[in-house]
Amino acid sequence: MPINKVEIPGVNTSKLPVLTNTKMRELFRAMQAGDPSARDQLINGNLRLVLSVIQRFQNRGEHSDDLFQVGCIGLMKAIDNFDLEQNVKFSTYAVPMIIGEIRRYLRDNNPIRVSRSLRDIAYKALQVRDSLVHRFNKEPTITEIAQELQLPREEVLYALDAIQEPMSLFEPIYHDGGDPIYVMDQISDEKNQDKIWLEGIAIREAMRRLSDREKMILSMRFFDGKTQMEVADEIGISQAQVSRLEKAALNHMRKHM
């Protein structure tokens, strides 16, 4: 079933309303003052957001209407927990919660067997992650989640990896208006490949023209075999910034090779 054909009983999805930021804030204030109709309006006014999110999961073999229903649960959780005092758009806050709800649904329906103890750790980590996002309004690192759980970082990372469902290397996982970040951008290359010595010289000459930060990121990514997430965690910037710096540095090097 195509995404734009998702059916909601009694609702024409092509005519779903879109709320302005001003109207959204008015409805949130009314809802928090005890008006149940305001919550219904917020849900109906953001169903298009759910439809846009489930497009990235359309190749998982799941029915679109099932994913839509699960995404609506994430939307309702976002509406119930959104803090007007935080200087952030509702869509920015809601999209990760909708995605998280859908990913949990896909993990629960994953045919790959994972031990109960690993699942327990992973689900606790996801709950802590959602709590930290709500508390600090930013994505926590694995280290921060592990500290909250009082568990070794490696144990939490292993548990989260164990419950991940298979996905395409070319699936977009983040988009901030510029170039999207794909799954393949997070994968480290640990293979040791012999390089032709002339190519090695050309690479060293090109790297000399880079800034210190660009040199450090490329060294950690391609010589130390670290993922973008690991690099971001280590130097204290976001993964999106690492991706942009990495691509800019590689493009700069190509001009001098």
Structural domains in the chain (count): 3
8 and 90 in a single domain? The answer is: yes
Distances (CA, A) of 88 to 48, 83, 92, 137: 19, 9, 7, 8
pLDDT given at position 131: 87
Q: Are residues 42 and 72 in the same domain?
A: yes
Coil/strand/helix, residue 29: helix
Segment 60-93, tens digit of pLDDT = 667 777 888 888 999 999 998 888 887 778 888 8
The residues with which 11 forms a beta bridge, in sequence order, are 8
% of the chain surpassing 70 pLDDT: 72
Looking at 94, 118, 137, the residue that finishes a domain is 94
Q: How far apart are the first and last CA of the chain?
A: 48
**Model pLDDT for residues 16-47, shown as the tens digit of each residue:** 778 888 888 899 999 988 888 999 999 988 98
* pLDDT at position 1: 37
Among 56-60, 68-72, 158-162, 201-205, which range has the highest average pLDDT? 68-72
Instruction: Extract long-range pairs of 216-225: CB within 8 Å, 24+ residues apart.
Output: 217/242, 217/245, 217/246, 217/249, 218/246, 218/249, 218/250, 221/188, 221/246, 222/189, 225/188, 225/189, 225/190
139 vs 103: CA distance, rounded Å: 16
Looking at residue 109, the DSSP 8-state letter turns out to be: T
**pTM (whole model) above 0.85:** no
CB neighbours of 63 closer than 8 A, spacing ≥ 6?
A: 1
Same domain, 188 and 246: yes
The residue segments making up the domain with residue 234 are 182-255
The two tokens of residue 112 are 């790959």
Answer yes or no: is 187 within a domain. Answer: yes
- Tell me, what CATH number does 138's domain have? 1.10.10.10
**Tens-digit pLDDT profile for residues 166-177:** 555 555 655 555
In a shared domain, residues 83 and 117: no
Structure tokens at 250: 């590689």
